[in-house]
Amino acid sequence: MHEALPELAQRFNSPAYYEIGWGDRDFYQAQEVTSGLTLQALFWSKGAVLHVVALFEHPEQHFAGEPVVSTCLSRNELISLQSFLVSSFSRTATDSIIALGPGNYGDSAFYRGEGHYYILNTCNNWTAKALKSSGVKIQPFFKFTAGSIMNFLEKHRRPCTG
């Protein structure tokens, strides 16, 4: 990711990993979630954002005590996934990603995102689309919860070799 998005490497001091989430602009950045914001996100979203968190240790260590599922990707699959992620960032006329401000926790920040959030195109669908872009045989339309994605990955994980 450092080569594809040098702005992130510069902003976050080249971490070992990134946690990247996509969602509704107003809902994701809200200090307090309300039913009005929830309905707006589901039916009248005003745009998408990406939330990027720098991780300087392996995700299994960083998220100790939380479920983490890993799967291995080939070099070409990883390049495809990276392309999907890069295309999820909105850009200025000079091709820079658009920072919106500090993130929700840790060393994090929000960036203007591409795409349209709504009830049938949520953060979980975006995650499934990212996986599918890399060659994982997942059906994004049917992935409405994080649990459904985690269960799929648990059943279809690929061990790393060599």
Per-residue pLDDT reduced to its tens digit, 6-51: 899 999 998 999 999 999 999 999 999 999 999 999 999 999 999 9
pTM: 0.92
Say if 161 falls within a structural domain. Answer: no
- H/E stretch holding 17: strand 17-24
Residue 144: pLDDT band with limits 50, 70, 90: confident
**Beta-bridge partner residues of 69:** none
Which amino acid is it at 34?
A: T
1 found inside a domain? no
Does the residue 127 lie in any domain?
yes
The structure tokens 């902003």 sit at 11
* Amino acid letter, 83: S
Q: Note whether residue 147 is domain-resident.
A: yes
Is 118 contained in some domain? yes
Domain annotation covers residue 162: no
Total number of domains in the chain:
1
Does residue 10 fall inside a structural domain? Answer: yes
- Alpha-carbon distances, residue 52 vs 21, 63, 67 (angstroms): 7, 15, 19
Q: Where are the beta strands (DSSP E) in 25-159?
A: 48-55, 99-102, 108-113
Residue 46 domain boundaries: 6-156
Determine what percent of the chain is predicted with pLDDT higher than 90: 85
